[in-house]
Structure 1
Amino acid sequence: MAPPAPGIKVNADGVPDFDALPLREGDPPYSAWGLYGADDELGTLNRLTDERVAAAAQGEIRTGKRISLNWPLDAQPGRAFFQRATFRQEMMAKAPLAVNDDVWTFNSQVSTQWDGLRHFAYQGARRFYGGRTQKDIHGQGRDEDGKEGGKGTVLGIHAWAEQGIIGRAILIDYHGWRESQGVAAKPFDSFATSPIPLEDLKACLAAQGTEVKFGDILFVRTGFHLARSGKNPAEIWDHHEKVPHPFGGVQQSEEMLRWIWSSFAAVAGDHPTFECWPPWTQVKEWSLHEVLLSGWGCPIGELFDLEALAAHCRASKRWSFFLSSEPCYVPGGVASPANAVAIF
C-alpha cells in the first residue's frame, strides 16, 4: 500500500481532513487526486495496510463460521437491470472421455460485484480517478513486450485483484432496524428513489452496538432481495422499462461523504446502486458514484446477498466480521464479481 505523497498534510489516520478536499485547486468536488501519487490505482484500498488486515484477522476470526455474500451469477435470467447482458453457460461433453467443460458469458455487473475505477467518471469534468480520461482508458497503450499498440490497462480491476479487498467489515442491518422501529415510522422503498439518511445509519449502528474502525469495509442491508422476491415477473419487467431505473439506497449528502471519508476503505450494499437512484434528484452537482469512484478510488459493491449474513449477525449479536473478497484478475477490467465470504 502506498504512503501519502510528500507535502500532503494528513491526520492521525494517515489521510487529509475532509475539509482539505479537493487536494488541488481546479480538481472536481471532494476529490483526493494525488494523495498516493499520480499513478495510484488502489485509492481508499491503500487504507487496508498489512497491519490493519492482520489486526482484523486476529480480532474478528473467532469461530471459523463462513458465509457467502454472493448472489448467483444467473439470478437475473432473461433480462437484467441497466440492460446488462445476463449470465449464460454453455456445457460441452469432451467425448470419448467422461469429461465436461463449460463457457460462461456475462456482464461483470449482472450479479454481486465491485464497481472498479473505469466504471463511472465525474460526469461534468469527464475525468476518472486521478484525472484519467476516456482516451486514457480506451486508447492504445503498450503491449506486454513494451511495444506500441497493446491494449491499455490503466485503472483496471486487476490492480485490486493483486491483494484483494480484505479486512474488517461491518454490517448495518438497516432493514432489520426498520422492522424493529416499525416500517411505517421509517418508510423505504427498494424500487423507488428512497434515500437512507446518515442519521438512520448511525441510529442502526448504535442499536446494534457496532463500533466503526478506520479502514473498515461497510455493508448496508436494505432488504432489496426480499423486496425483489416479493414482486411478480410482470412487476420486475415494468421496472426494467423505467429509464433511469429508480432504486432506494444511501442518501447523497456532504454529511454522508464526510462519514465515509473518515471511516471506510470500501462500501457495499444489497441493492443495485448503493446510493439512491437516480442520484441527481438529491444533489445536482455530484453523485456518490462520482466522488467515491473517481474522486477517492473507493470500491462500490452492489447486489451483495446479505440475508444469511444478517441472520447470523442477529443470532450472534455481532455485526463485525472478517471479509475476504477476491476480484477476478482481468487486466483492464471495469468491474468484477465479488467472490466474497464473511468469516466469524
Structure 2
Amino acid sequence: MSTGNIPTEDDVLGYIPTISNWGRWGTDDELGTMNNIGPDQIKYATSLVKEGISVSCARTITTERAPDVVAPVLHYMTGSGESSMDTDTNEFVHQQSSGDFIGMAFHGHWITHIDSLSHMFWNGKMYNNRPASMVTTREGATKESIEVLKNGVIGRGVLLDVARSRGVDWMKPGEYILPEELDKIAHEQNIELQQGDILLIRTGHYKRRTEEGPRSPEDGYPGLQAACIPWIRTKNIAALGGDTVSDSYPSGYPKIRLPIHQIALPYMGLWLIDNCNLEELSQACHRLNRWEFLFTLCPLRIKFGTGSPVNPIAIM
C-alpha cells in the first residue's frame, strides 16, 4: 500500500474552496473539466497515431447476474432468424431480419460508462452551484445532461499502470493510490501529464474479476485516495477513468464514502469513466513502451441522461 499523509475527512472537505471550478468557465457552464480540451489538444492527440492500432477500453455488456451487478441488463429479441428458416411458406422471405430490446441501469460497478455532471450532488448542489432539484423524477437531468458531450470526447489519453508498477497482477480490495505514487509512475513511464488529458488508472481490478470471479463491491475495491483530488485539479485533466469506479473503497470516512465522486465530480466538474477494461491497453502500451495515445469516446445522445454506456477507444 502507498505510504504518505492521509487526509482526515475535515481535510478533504477543506479541499472544496481550492479545487472548485464553479464559475471558472462562466455561470452557465455545463462542461466542467472538458473545457480543458481545445483545438490544440485535439490536434496534438491526433498526431499520436503512429502504428495504426485501436484498442477498446470497454467491458462486454452481458446479461450476467453477479454480486457486483446491481441491475442485470435486459436483452430480449424482438425478432430472430428462427422464424425465418422455412423459406417455402414464409411470405416475407425476402425481408427477413432480427432485432433486439436492450435495457440497462448503467451506473454502478459493472458496465463501462461515463458520468455526466448531473450524476452526483453535495449538500443539495451539483456542479456550478446548480440545485440538485434540476434533476427531476419526471424528465431527468434538465441541466448538465450527457447531451452536452454530443460531439464526443477526443483528446490525449494517458495510462498510468499502477498494478504493473507495483509488480502485482492486481491491487487488493481497499488498497489506495496517493498522488506521490502517480508522480512516480509517470516518471517511470517517461510521461508528463498535460492540460486536457484523459487519465486512465489501471489497478488490475478487472483482471482479478476475470480470473477469480465477481465480488460484492461492499467487500472493497482499489482506487485513488482522496488526497489525489488536489493533484487532479492542478493537472487540469479533462476526464478520469479506471478499471474500478476511480475511488478506493472503503474510504475510511463516515460521510465521504466515495470522495472522487462526491467531491471532485460536483465541485471540480470532473468527468468520470467507470469500469473500464484496461488489460489490452496495458499490454499494448507495454509492448510499444508508449503510454500516450489518441483517445476517443462517444456517449449516446440521451436527452436528460445522467450518463451513458460507452466504448472508449485508444488509437496508437
Q: 1:34-92: CA deviations, max 9, x gaps?
A: 1112221100001111221112212x112211111110011x611352x6322221123
Q: Which residue of 1 aligns with 2:266?
A: 294
- Cα distance change on mapping 1:133 and 1:280 into 2, 3 Å: farther
164-173 or 193-202, which moves further after superposition? 193-202
Q: Which residue of 2 aligns with 1:119?
A: 119
TM-score (ref. length: structure 2): 0.83
Query: What one-letter code is carried by the residue in structure 2 that aligns with 1:306?
Result: L
Q: Where in structure 2 are the equivalents of 1:64-143 lying within 5 Å?
A: 64-74=52-62, 77-79=64-66, 81=68, 84-93=70-79, 96=92, 97-109=95-107, 110-122=110-122, 125-138=123-136
Residues in 2 aligned to 1:165 and 1:304: alpha-carbon distance in whole angstroms:
16
TM-score (ref. length: structure 1): 0.77
Residues in 2 aligned to 1:341 and 1:274: alpha-carbon distance in whole angstroms:
19
Partner SS for 1:262: helix
Q: Which residue of 1 aligns with 2:285?
A: 313
Q: Which residue of 1 aligns with 2:171?
A: 188
Task: Tell me by how many angstroms 1:226 deviates.
Answer: 1.5
Q: Which residue of 2 aligns with 1:303?
A: 275
Query: What one-letter code is carried by the residue in structure 1 that aligns with 2:175?
Result: S
C-alpha RMSD of matched pairs (Å): 2.6
2:296 aligned residue (299, 304, 324)? 324
Q: Where in structure 2 are the equivalents of 1:24-39 lying within 5 Å?
A: 30-39=19-28
1:222 aligned residue (178, 203, 206)? 203
Query: What one-letter code is carried by the residue in structure 2 that aligns with 1:330?
Result: I
Task: Tell me by how many angstroms 1:319 deviates.
Answer: 0.4
Partner SS for 2:99: strand
Query: What one-letter code is carried by the residue in structure 1 that aligns with 2:126?
Result: F
Query: What one-letter code is carried by the residue in structure 1 that aligns with 2:152?
Result: G
Q: Which residue of 2 aligns with 1:262?
A: 234
Task: Tell me by how many angstroms 1:174 deviates.
Answer: 0.8
Partner SS for 1:163: coil
- Cα distance change on mapping 1:103 and 1:286 into 2, 3 Å: closer
Structure 1: unaligned runs, 5 residues or longer:
1-20, 24-28, 141-149
Contact 1:322 1:343 in 2 (8 A): yes
Query: What one-letter code is carried by the residue in structure 2 that aligns with 1:91?
Result: M
Task: Tell me by how many angstroms 1:245 deviates.
Answer: 4.8
Contact 1:129 1:295 in 2 (8 A): yes
- Cα distance change on mapping 1:292 and 1:92 into 2, 3 Å: same
Query: What one-letter code is carried by the residue in structure 2 that aligns with 1:175?
Result: A
Q: 1:246-265: CA deviations, max 9, x gaps?
A: 21111111xx2222112211
Partner SS for 2:230: helix
Residues in 1 aligned to 2:219 and 2:31: alpha-carbon distance in whole angstroms:
30
Query: What one-letter code is carried by the residue in structure 2 that aligns with 1:88?
Result: L
1:205 aligns with 2:186: yes
Residues in 2 aligned to 1:282 and 1:274: alpha-carbon distance in whole angstroms:
18
